[in-house]
Amino acid sequence: MFWSQKEINLPAKPRGFHLVTDSVVDSLSELKRVRVGLLHVFLTHTSASLCLNENADPTVRADFESWSRTAIAESPSFRHQAEGPDDMPAHLKSSVFGCSVSIPVKDGRLCLGTWQGIYLGEHRTEASSRRLILTLYGATD
């Protein structure tokens, strides 16, 4: 059995949904050694999210952002606004979308569908860099 764990930092991104699949894969040189396994990607922040979805058409990511702004809008009724009016909505969106994804690995590649990619959902207007913990488990040849 093989396993490794590393942290990567993603640069600050504007509010919205961003494909980060390449950043994750590019940081895992050991991925090619895994015959069968699992990659767990964990985001260490409470105002951003991770999910898997469409990787080809950028309008999908725009629609995700539009829907999330409508579904969980900024509101003066939120008590938690320590960092501004987008503070509590960002926490709620993080809980709705989640903070981790697990992806099977086969023959040194992520087993993503043809149109799947890893999204970072940035829910803050003034975001900072984001840290991911990548844990790769698997059997090697």
Helices (H), 38-79: 58-71
Percentage, residues of the chain above pLDDT 70: 100
pLDDT band at 76 (very low <50, low <70, confident <90, very high): confident
The pLDDT, as a whole number, for residue 108 is 96
Mean pLDDT value across residues 28-55: 97
Q: Which residue has the higher pLDDT, 110 or 76?
A: 110
User: Quick one: average pLDDT of 118-129?
Assistant: 96
Domains in the chain: ranges and CATH: 2-73+81-140 (2.60.120.460)
Average pLDDT across the chain, whole number: 96
Band of the pLDDT at 141, cuts 50, 70, 90?
confident
**CB of 117 closer than 8 Å to CB of 64:** no
**What mean pLDDT is predicted for residues 121-134?**
96
CB-CB neighbours of 52 under 10 Å: 17
> For 19-33, what is the mean pLDDT?
96
pLDDT band at 122 (very low <50, low <70, confident <90, very high): very high
